[in-house]
Amino acid sequence: MSAEQPHSFMHSVKRMYDFAVSKMDLPTGIAELLGECRTVYQVRFQVKINGEYQVFKGWRATHSEHQLPAKGGIRFATEVNQDEVEALAALMTFKCAVVNVPFGGSKGGLCIDPRAYSREDLDMITRRFALELEKKGYLSPALNVPAPDMGTGPREMALMADIYRTLHPGDIDAAACITGKPPEMGGVEGRTEATGRGVQYAMQEFFRHSEDIAAASLSPGLTGKRVVVQGLGNVGYHAAKFLEEEDGCLIIGIIERDGGLWSEKGLNVESVFAYLQEHGGVKGYPDAEYVADGNSLLEADCDILVPAALESQIHEGNAEKIKANLIVEAANGPVTAEADEILRQRGKIIIPDMYANAGGVTVSYFEWTKNLAHMQFGKMGRRFMQSRAESAVDALEQVMGDKFPEKLRQGFEKEADELNLVRSGLEDTMCEAYQEIREIWHSRDDVPDLRTAAYILAIGRVAHYYTEYAL
């Protein structure tokens, strides 16, 4: 991360990294090593579209290979550039380390507006990009395993997996070359919802710690909390939906590309999402007030703000005006380093990206191990566990001479199928990581916030690997 521009995303990551490093006792060379990406690959390739050749430019950066494969998504967006991809790759290293997922960090991007192309053309472009990545070892079950990110999803992952499989017909582990595939292509149940689900688990865990709730000057419990969400993409949609439907939050604001929606009584996320899918925007949605300057809702009166769109959305220009006491970074890098400082001074609490949105890569890890094991989670034990739970309930009922209340019985007999196993594995991971981060935050006077604590935890883990085991 050397060539950073002032106020760029990389500049923010670098500043936050340096700040954390200044609180650690790291060998200078290791601090320097982790301060930049290890390799960056840039590629340009051509695709014939409607009889004309078009040239596309993309990148794949690897920040750390202390564990292999290196892991991280591929985004399709017009804003993609090398600087951004490198900063995101660094975040991936730290994200994996924070949740104890044994991967290095990598990230890729293609400079493209995916909505400007037909499905067929986009398929061709995706395949071509996959081919270029594969040629250099950036699509490989052992070395570098991409995943979805902004502008990509299960379909793109399936196409890329198909390229790898075609080139390596003898590789029995071919499916593990990429994660986020549709379940019928070797994906895992619950991957699509995973990042949003992880955001929900992170917030639930935050609300289990009275000291942390008090630090944010909030009342206990997620129920009834007034939440504003920026971005109803895969992450924002799932996070908002679960918070509304399962935790009783009021989603009072949703910000999208074409403006924002506001409703004091709470928006129905599913219905806003359906409207967005059908109309391509939120303007005209009934049952809510439309706000043309959507981003002004970032500054609206609410308890919790969940930026789930682009980076650098909260910056020097609006940080003073943010009213939410808790900011949950569902997106990568939504708060600039300058805004981070302003918000900290104003007593705002931020649940940082490297932890808050780590649910995606956590479930990617489950998918990767599933692919290497060649077996669905729960396949062998599900029936056995089910009948054991039923026997236990029957035995208890006999001894008690009474029936189990239906809700208790359901809890006991919850099926150990893939989706439930993935969710419980994710919940466990998110809870444990939060506890480790907050422990650093609360136990050290020189650690002012959760972000610095998360960096210290992550950098410490990666550095330990280099100083103890690496060549």
Binding site for ligand GLU (CB under 6 A): 71-73, 95, 147, 149, 179, 332, 357, 360-361, 364
- Residue 410: CB minimum distance to ligand GLU, A: 32
- Residue 328: CB minimum distance to ligand GLU, A: 15
Residue 97's Cα: distance from chain center in Å?
14
**What are the residues facing 62 on neighbouring strands?**
39, 106
Contact yes or no for 360/198 (Cβ under 8 A):
yes
> Of 14, 71, 95, 107, which residue is the catalytic one?
107
Contact yes or no for 243/223 (Cβ under 8 A):
no
- Residue 111: CB minimum distance to ligand GLU, A: 17
Query: 390 Cβ partners below 8 Å, 6+ apart?
Result: 413
* C-beta of 8 vs 192, nearer to ligand GLU: 192
* C-beta of 65 vs 244, nearer to ligand GLU: 65
* C-beta of 244 vs 353, nearer to ligand GLU: 353
- Residue 71: CB minimum distance to ligand GLU, A: 4
* C-beta of 161 vs 300, nearer to ligand GLU: 161
- List strands edge to edge, sheet with 39-49: 39-49, 52-64, 104-111, 70-77, 144-148
Q: Where do we find the tokens 């609006």? A: 318
Known catalytic residue: 348? Answer: no
Which one, of 301, 330, 297, 304, lies nearest residue 213 by Cα?
Answer: 304
Which one, of 441, 437, 438, lies nearest residue 94 by Cα?
Answer: 437
Cβ count within 10 A of residue 78: 13
- Residue 74: CB minimum distance to ligand GLU, A: 8
d(CA 34, CA 354): 15
* C-beta of 249 vs 430, nearer to ligand GLU: 430
Q: Supply angle C-alpha 440, 61, 173, rounded to 5.
A: 95
Contact yes or no for 231/255 (Cβ under 8 A):
yes
* C-beta of 87 vs 291, nearer to ligand GLU: 87
End-to-end CA distance of the chain: 22
- Residue 332: CB minimum distance to ligand GLU, A: 6
- Residue 147: CB minimum distance to ligand GLU, A: 3
Burial of 179 (0-12, 13-18, 19+ CB in 10 A): buried
**H or E stretch at 41:** strand 39-49
* C-beta of 104 vs 253, nearer to ligand GLU: 104
Which one, of 122, 94, 90, lies nearest residue 107 by Cα?
Answer: 90
Contact yes or no for 103/96 (Cβ under 8 A):
yes
Which one, of 423, 223, 255, lies nearest residue 330 by Cα?
Answer: 255
- Residue 73: CB minimum distance to ligand GLU, A: 3
d(CA 314, CA 324): 12
Which one, of 239, 269, 277, 238, lies nearest residue 253 by Cα?
Answer: 269
* C-beta of 329 vs 341, nearer to ligand GLU: 329
Query: 217 Cβ partners below 8 Å, 6+ apart?
Result: 325, 347
d(CA 95, CA 347): 25
Residues involved in catalysis: 107
